[in-house]
Structure 1
Amino acid sequence: MLGNSRSVQTNQIGIHEDLEKIVARHLSSVFLKPISAHTQGAFEQALDFVQSKKQAVILDACCGVGDSSRNLAQLYPQHTIIGVDKSDERIHKNRTETDHNIILLRADLNDFYRLLAQAIKRNQIQIAQHKIYYPNPWPKSAHIKRRWHGAPVFPDLVSVCSNIEMRSNWLTYLEEFQFALNLVGIKSQVKPIQVEHAMTPFEAKYNASGQTIYQLLTV
């Protein structure tokens, strides 16, 4: 793996000044975007798969080509892994699924999170762990609302599971996510970690480039 990845470039200094206001607005409103048909179908497929397995579930959000889901399946063989990504091309790239406990799905997570939150309330599914590895940083200050903690779906995202792990090579992203978690009463720790076995291709590239890998874990 070539170590030629650039670090995140941003015009923002520290946590975004509008983040608290943005999160408060989303917490006091209902996200009414229509659910896409393809995500509805993917969610029903996930629900059927999970219910057939009768195992604890790990949600691997933004799973990309699915390497993180495969690694999670190896680490947690007694769990069912749901990997979700918006790109059909990424989901099916070099796909050689042999693990019995993985399902990879193309879906819009803005819709998937809401469907999942509703299903949890109906006791149809429970999520034991929630992984978000290397979300798109949207590093320009003007793009704060495209980051997960600035998005309208944030209340649903955090409601599906309080056991959250997020990794990024941009410390500010995790600090903002931690700030937003604090607003909903969820405590977390952010720290640099040493990568021995990369969970994703991004992690492998960043690590080979000598960049610091940061991890957020809820406590």
Structure 2
Amino acid sequence: MHANSSSIVSRQTEAHAQLQAVVARHIAHPFRKPVTAYNRAAFEQGLAAWQASGNKPLILDAGCGVGLSTLHLATQFPDHFVIGVDQSADRIARNTQWSGEMPDNFTWVRADLVDYWRLLLQEKIHPVRHYILYPNPWPKIGHLARRWHGHAVFPAIVALGGVLECRSNWQIYIDEFAAALTQVSGIPTHCESFVAEQPITPFERKYRDSGHALWRCRIRLPQTDAAFAAAFRATV
């Protein structure tokens, strides 16, 4: 990717006015969309690869795109196992721009994250680290429900626990994500700027080289108590 990325343009200039109400509704009303057979099979595929590794501490690379971030995370955490999930077979199959030996502690899975997150929770599988890197920002004011923190699955993401990190080149997205995390978890979470000295995704490199500010929020979530987890397992 060349360093010519345009900045995000939106009529929205601050966190969405309806964010708190939307998150509260999703907490109160469990998400009951049925899991598809295809996504369940994909989940089992990833689960088998992880189990073959000896059930190492698990890292989830949610929305891994071409998978470069998965490889970087697997290299950075050699004693863990990384599952990179993306809904596009085309993206996963592309050139990852990786040079050198491939790590052996990862797998890529083509699946819908909405189902994958809920299946992890149903099986009581809690990643120790969980990355959501440069999701589609959906910058129009009417797009709140398409952003992960505005989606009905968001409470299940939080219920998975572990160290959760989201990154974007749109500050409003991270401001909202952090506010939603605080609302669901009760743990104060904040947006912060950072410098990607060693970018781990193609978008991260492109945005940095295009002069964009980069933003992230990070939180260490506890293992959820049995009652909270059970409520979200019931949504699958």
> TM bucket by the smaller chain?
over 0.9
2:146 matched residue in structure 1: 146
Give, in whole Å, the separation in 1 of the partners of 2:216 and 2:73.
16
3-state DSSP of counterpart to 2:191: strand
Give, in whole Å, the separation in 2 of the partners of 1:186 and 1:41.
34
Give, in whole Å, the separation in 1 of the partners of 2:188 and 2:128.
17
2:114 matched residue in structure 1: 110
Give, in whole Å, the separation in 1 of the partners of 2:9 and 2:146.
16
Give, in whole Å, the separation in 2 of the partners of 1:134 and 1:25.
25
Q: CA deviation at 1:187?
A: 2.8
TM-score, scaled to structure 1? 0.94
1:179 matched residue in structure 2: 179
3-state DSSP of counterpart to 2:215: strand
Gaps of 5+ in 2: 221-236
2:69 matched residue in structure 1: 68
After TM superposition, the structure 1 = structure 2 runs for residues 52-91 of structure 1, keeping only pairs within 5 Å, are 52-53=52-53, 54-91=55-92
1:215 matched residue in structure 2: 216
Whether contact under 8 Å (2:87, 2:113) holds in the other structure is yes
Gaps of 5+ in 1: none
- 133-142 or 51-60, which deviates more: 51-60
Q: Which amino acid aligns with 2:156?
A: D
1:10 matched residue in structure 2: 10
TM-score, scaled to structure 2? 0.87
CA deviations on 1:58-105 (whole Å, 9 max, x unpaired) are 000010000000000110011100000010100111268932111101
Identity %: 44
Q: CA deviation at 1:177?
A: 0.6
Give, in whole Å, the separation in 2 of the partners of 1:31 and 1:2.
40
Give, in whole Å, the separation in 1 of the partners of 2:190 and 2:19.
19
Q: What's the RMSD between the two structures over aligned residues? A: 1.4
Give, in whole Å, the separation in 2 of the partners of 1:130 and 1:187.
18
Q: CA deviation at 1:188?
A: 2.2
3-state DSSP of counterpart to 1:189: coil
Give, in whole Å, the separation in 2 of the partners of 1:11 and 1:36.
36
